[in-house]
Chains A and B, each alone.
Chain A
Amino acid sequence: MRVVAEHVSKKFNRRPVFKDLSFTVEPGEVFGITGRNGSGKSTLLRIVGGLLSPSGGSLRYSSGGSDVKPELLHRQIGYVAPYLTLYEEFSAQENIALYARIRGLAFTSRDAQALLERVGLPLDRKDPIRAFSSGMKQRMRLVFAILHQPPLLLLDEPISNLDAQGMSTVYGIVADFRARGTVIIATNDAEDIARCDRTISVEAA
Chain B
Amino acid sequence: MIRQAFAVFSKDLASELRTRYAINALLMFVIVTLAVIMFALAGESMSPGALTGMLWVVMFFASMSGLSRSFVAEEERGTTMTLQLLATPTAVYLGKLIFNLVLVIVLNLFIIALFLLTMDQFVVNQFGLFWLVMLLGSLGIASATTIIAAIIARANTKGTLFPVLSFPVLLPLLMAGINATKIAVEDVRWDAVWPDLQLLGSYIVVITTVSFLLFDFVWKD
Contact = CB atoms under 8 A, between A and B. Distances in A.
A90 B82 contact: no
A163 interface: no
Contact of A84 (B15, B82, B89): B82
Contacts of A71: 88-89
Given A74-B84, A89-B18, A104-B4, A53 B11 contact: no
Of A50, A52, A89, most buried by chain B (CB within 10 Å of CB) is A89
B10 to A, nearest CB: 7
Interface size class of B (residues with CB under 8 A): 20 to 34
A102 B8 contact: yes
Interface in A71-113: 71-72, 74, 77, 79, 83-90, 98-99, 101-104
A87 B4 contact: no
Contacts, number: 63
Interface string A42-73: 00000001111100000000000000000110
A18 interface: no
Contacts of A90: 14-15, 18
Interface in B196-221: 220-221
A50 B221 CA distance: 9
Contacts of B85: 49, 51, 74, 77, 79, 84, 144
Nearest to B88: A71
B90 to A, nearest CB: 9
B88 A87 contact: no
A157 B19 CA distance: 31
Nearest to A100: B7
Interface in B40-76: none
A166 B3 CA distance: 35
Nearest to B89: A71
A79 B78 CA distance: 15
Given A89-B19, A101-B10, A102-B86, A84 B4 contact: no
A113 to B, nearest CB: 21
Interface string B77-120: 11101101111110100000000000000000000000000000
B82 A74 contact: no
A53 B14 contact: no
Given A85-B78, A85-B79, A87-B11, A74 B3 contact: no
B217 to A, nearest CB: 10
A37 B88 CA distance: 32
A158 B207 CA distance: 42
A50 B84 CA distance: 9
Contacts of B14: 90
B27 to A, nearest CB: 20
A102 B87 contact: yes
A90 B14 CA distance: 9
A83 B78 contact: yes
Of B3, B77, B85, most buried by chain A (CB within 10 Å of CB) is B85
A101 B7 contact: yes
Contacts of A52: 221
A86 B82 contact: yes
B81 A84 contact: yes
Interface of A: 49-53, 71-72, 74, 77, 79, 83-90, 98-99, 101-104, 144
Task: List 7 A-B pairs, minimum CB-CB distance, nearest first.
Answer: A85-B78, A101-B7, A102-B7, A102-B86, A52-B221, A85-B79, A89-B18
